[in-house]
Amino acid sequence: MLASLYLAFTDYNLFRDPQWIGLENFQRLFDDPRFIQSSKVTAIYVLVGTPVKLVAALAVAMLLNVASRGQGAYRSIFYAPSLIGASVSIAIVWKAMFSDDGIVDTVQQFFGFGPGGWVGDPSMTMPMMILLAVWQFGAPMVIFLAGLKQVPAELYEAASVDGAGPVRKFLRITLPMLSPVIFFNLLLETINAFQVFSSAFIISGGTGGPAGSTLFYTLYLYIKGFTDFQMGYASAMAWVLVVVVGIITAIFFKTSKTWVHYSGEAK
Amino acid sequence: MSTVSETPTLTTEARGAGHPTDDRTEQQSTARRSARTRRAGKRLVYHLAVLALVVVILYPAVWMLMSSFKPSSDIIGNINVIPETWTFDNYTKAFGGIAGISFWTFFKNSLILAVASVVGVVLSATVSAYAFARIDFPGRGVFFAIMIGTLLLPFHVVIIPQYIIFNNLGLVNSFWPLLLGKFLAAEAFFVFLMVQFMRNLPRELDEAARIDGAGHVRIFRSIMLPLMRPAIITSSIFAFIWSWNDFLGPLLYLKQPDLYSLPIALRIYVDQTSVSDYGAQMAMAVLALIPVLLFFIAFQRYIVAGVATQGLKG
């Protein structure tokens, strides 16, 4: 890690000794349009993908949180995509489904939308990537479900007696009681979203195209470090990422005091 | 009336439907029956809704499986999920491998990596977890904090120095860069999981053993390891699946075709075959997923429990 910090201040290509160049790497970063693009792509992905995924996870968790037969089976099925979603196989499937004349293209033409797969359209690749992320809602869902089971039923009964409707119960009981779990999921999924790599790599063929629309931060880091062998530059990028993720984590923890509710001391 | 009849309906159902009950009037039983049908109807709607969601979620996987049996020309531009003509050509092609290297070579590489990862993780994580949980060594708190710190750190920070180190050691194009960290307990997640588990084991057990004259090695082997079974199983499953699905690691370190793991081979395959040959790609994608799916089906109880309690990601 310290080596990485040192390299961030050098010009190093693996074959020559590192040259100390001070802050130049960082200066170049902010003049690099591809760097700006990759930050933007990742920011959109994190800001849109993570909340959508978590809302889907919570909604399905609440749907499943009723005493009913088959709950265990449903839970396993919904979880399965989380296990395979980041694999190369699924990235290939996604690419095929969203390509020109692929299944999605065919369906959208049937409903009268213009032809064209999402893979080749810079404005549609992001929704496609977010869909892939949302498809993997199973892992946070399982965690939500475990959290929902911890909410004492007496609370709901008491609220019913006081005449609270389902919306009210959700806002006043479910959400506060679930807030530690929401916090945990939010933190975990945000950090994960920053690190998406393989699916973007496969879908864009390792280029981040079309028009840089799938140039995720980690993908650009890989291109810089291991295709162009600008290891100093890539280290600088890695450290910017660490700082950003660190700041976001710190903000989460700081603000958590105001909205995360712990009942008792046990967690 | 309906609220009153809820409770008896529940109890009869619990006892088994159709149980003849003592002195119920005609009226009551009709009300009970209609309440029951209403409940059954609600249940049906509920299950239909959930099943609809299941279909949506499973659609891509089913589509992949079915497409692998279609001629490539039918995959794109054909909305039918079920193949109109079934073919195994795709699989023949996929088993043929790339550039003269058989599919089974890649499969074997992936398997070696995954199994060695499991062995490495189990050996190193249990031992270091024992140290963290049971031995009072100086600086324990600091080391534990550092280890947790590496959990939150995006792993991309270390890939560059790591690559340079392994490159200088001449270990690029071998499995070592992918396995060494696992044998040296660098996988903080597993160590953390095991420490948490071990802390919940009663200390009286090792104290009793110590009085009987057992040392750390003995306590670890005869008491801790057997009790840690659930944690070991969970860690093994995830170590296997993560290693099997890992893409970035092999992408960085395995550059010789005969060393490729399955995901890398798959990626090369996609790049090499013409875009229209989706069939063979699908077949190979299915083959690459089969071990993970088998693992999932066999161990789903452990996997889902692991996710629920530890927040393990798939």
DSSP string, chain B: -HHHHHHHHHHHHHH-TT---SS--HHHHHHHHHHHHHHHHHHHHHHHHHHHHHHHHHHHHHHHHHHTTS-HHHHTT---SS-SS---HHHHHHHH-BTTB-HHHHHHHHHHHHHHHHHHHHHHHHHHHHHHHH---TTHHHHHHHHHHHHHS-THHHHHHHHHHHHHTT-TTSSHHHHHHHHTT--HHHHHHHHHHHHTS-HHHHHHHHHTT--HHHHIIIIIHHHTHHHHHHHHHHHHHHHHH--HHHHHH--SGGG--HHHHHHHHHHHS-TT-HHHHHHHHHHHHHHHHHHHHHHHHHHHHHHHHH----
Assess whether B54 and B136 both reside in one domain.
Answer: no
Q: How far does the CA of residue B11 sit from the closest CA of chain A (Å)? A: 15
Report the candidate in A176, A90, A252, A229 with the shortest Cα–Cα distance to residue B61: A90
On chain A, the residues whose CB falls within 8 A of the CB of B266 are 88-89, 92
For residue B20, what pLDDT is reported? 45
Assess whether B127 and B39 both reside in one domain.
Answer: no
Assess whether B163 and B213 both reside in one domain.
Answer: yes
Q: Assess if residue B80 is contained within a domain.
A: no
Assess whether B96 and B48 both reside in one domain.
Answer: no
Residue to mutate among B3, B160, B260, with most A CBs inside 10 A, is: B160
| Structural domain boundaries, residue B135 | 92-310
Assess whether B206 and B63 both reside in one domain.
Answer: no
On chain B, the residues whose CB falls within 8 A of the CB of A86 are 245, 247, 314
Residues 106-165 of A with CB under 8 A from B: 106-107, 135-136, 138-139, 142-143, 145-146
Assess whether B62 and B181 both reside in one domain.
Answer: no
The residues spanned by each domain of chain A are: 2-259
On chain B, the residues whose CB falls within 8 A of the CB of A184 are 311
For residue B15, what pLDDT is reported? 39
Assess whether B265 and B306 both reside in one domain.
Answer: yes
Residue to mutate among B157, B252, B275, with most A CBs inside 10 A, is: B157
Q: How far does the CA of residue A205 sit from the closest CA of chain B (Å)? A: 7
The tally of domains found in chain B comes to 2
pLDDT confidence tier of residue A249, bands split at 50, 70 and 90: confident
Residue B18 reports pLDDT greater than 60: no
Burial A147-174 (b: 16+ CB within 10 A, else e): bbeebeeebeeebeeeebeeeeeeeebb
Q: What is the mean pLDDT of residues B162-178?
A: 85
Query: Global pTM?
Result: 0.81
Length of chain A counted residue by residue: 267
Separation of alpha carbons A165 and A159, rounded Å: 8
Assess whether B97 and B58 both reside in one domain.
Answer: no
On chain A, the residues whose CB falls within 8 A of the CB of B76 are 96, 99-102
Q: How far does the CA of residue A82 sit from the closest CA of chain B (Å)? A: 5
CATH 3.40.50.10190 for domain A2-259, yes or no, is no
For residue A19, what pLDDT is reported? 63
Q: Which residue of A has its CA nearest to B295?
A: A83
Q: Assess if residue B249 is contained within a domain.
A: yes
For residue B224, what pLDDT is reported? 87
Question: Is the CB of residue B66 less than 8 Å away from at least one CB of chain A?
Answer: no
Q: Which of B61, B67, B160 sits opposite A231 (nearest CB)?
A: B160
Residue A56 reports pLDDT greater than 90: yes
pLDDT confidence tier of residue B313, bands split at 50, 70 and 90: very low
Q: What ipTM was reported for this prediction?
A: 0.80
CB contact under 8 A, A143 and B163: no
Q: Assess if residue B79 is contained within a domain.
A: no
Question: Is the CB of residue B169 less than 8 Å away from at least one CB of chain A?
Answer: no
Assess whether B63 and B96 both reside in one domain.
Answer: no
For residue B19, what pLDDT is reported? 43
Assess whether B116 and B17 both reside in one domain.
Answer: no
On chain A, the residues whose CB falls within 8 A of the CB of B252 are 226
Residue B169 reports pLDDT greater than 70: yes
Assess whether B216 and B282 both reside in one domain.
Answer: yes
pLDDT tens column, A172-206: 888 988 888 899 889 889 988 988 888 889 888 87
CB contact under 8 A, A89 and B304: no
Question: pLDDT higher for A85 or A1?
Answer: A85
Percent of chain B with pLDDT over 90: 5
Among B19-33, B63-77, B223-237, the range scoring the smallest mean pLDDT is B19-33
CB contact under 8 A, B154 and A241: yes
Assess whether B305 and B262 both reside in one domain.
Answer: yes
pLDDT confidence tier of residue B109, bands split at 50, 70 and 90: very high
Q: Assess if residue B116 is contained within a domain.
A: yes
